[in-house]
Amino acid sequence: MIGLRNLAFAVVFYGGSVAFVLLSPLAAAIGRPALLGLARAWIGFHRWAARALLGIETRIVGDPQLGTPALYAAKHQSMYETLELSRILNRPAIVMKQELADIPIWGRAARRYGVIVVDREASAGALRRMLGEAKVALDAGRSIVIFPEGTRVAPGERPALKSGFAGLYQMLKLPVVPVALDSGRVWPRRGPKRPGVVTIRFGEPIPPGLSRKEAEARVHAAINALERD
């Protein structure tokens, strides 16, 4: 049954996503509202496919703090939370690695949508560009989502935070909402996806103005709150 669920999801979601990707240049040419509408439709399509075909549901714990733009620092275990956080947080600007932004057609549409591209080299120039893109998003009333550990990790792994988080935290002077999650239990990096409930837990906001060491320690602990030894 799990194998059939995964096959159905692969055919329906990834096959259907091709149409969304091919439509993205047309939507971008029409204007930003059309592109945002297409993105919302794709995210909704993903939620339906994950629920109906894979049997994966989302449980939200805590307050997402949607009143004003904030910096969300989230655990990253699968593609699932990338789209779910976009849905829950109402089109935030997501910090994305350069390789994804360079994917033909899709990467260009993602840039037009307003992602924030991060260079793994973490040079001073790359940090300035990331900060500039973040400020553009904030001026548009959008929150920012960063995966501060830098990449997807398996359940139980707690790598140190990358330097890009500290740079955004210190320069933007925004409260940080830590996000813990456990999507890797049902959506592993390798192997079949399994039915289950993904918990997305929004922690208490961490105020701006803390030292880098304290901010990183508090964020690291909070985003790993659902990790099991």
Maximal CA-CA distance, the chain: 51
Cβ contact 69:141 at 8 Å: yes
Buried b (16+ CB within 10 A) or exposed e, 124-161: eebbeebbebbeebbeeebbbbbbbbbebbebeeeeeb
191: left (phi over 0), alpha (psi -120 to 50) or beta: left
| Alpha helices (H) in 31-91, listed in sequence order | 32-49, 80-88
The Cα 151–Cα 195 span in angstroms is 24
| Alpha helices (H) in 140-179, listed in sequence order | 163-172
CA 93 from centre of chain: 9
Paired tokens of 184: 């890797």
pLDDT in tens, 97-125: 766 666 666 666 767 777 787 765 556 67
What is the per-residue pLDDT for 98? 67
What is the per-residue pLDDT for 31? 83
What is the per-residue pLDDT for 153? 93
Task: Tell me the residue length of the chain.
Answer: 229
CA 146 from centre of chain: 7
Token pair 């602990």 is found at 221
For the chain, residues with pLDDT lower than 70 are: 98-108, 110, 119-124, 228-229
**14 C-beta neighbours (distance < 10 Å), count:** 10
Token pair 């629920």 is found at 51
| Alpha helices (H) in 31-162, listed in sequence order | 32-49, 80-88, 98-101, 106-113, 124-139
What is the per-residue pLDDT for 1? 85
What is the per-residue pLDDT for 122? 58
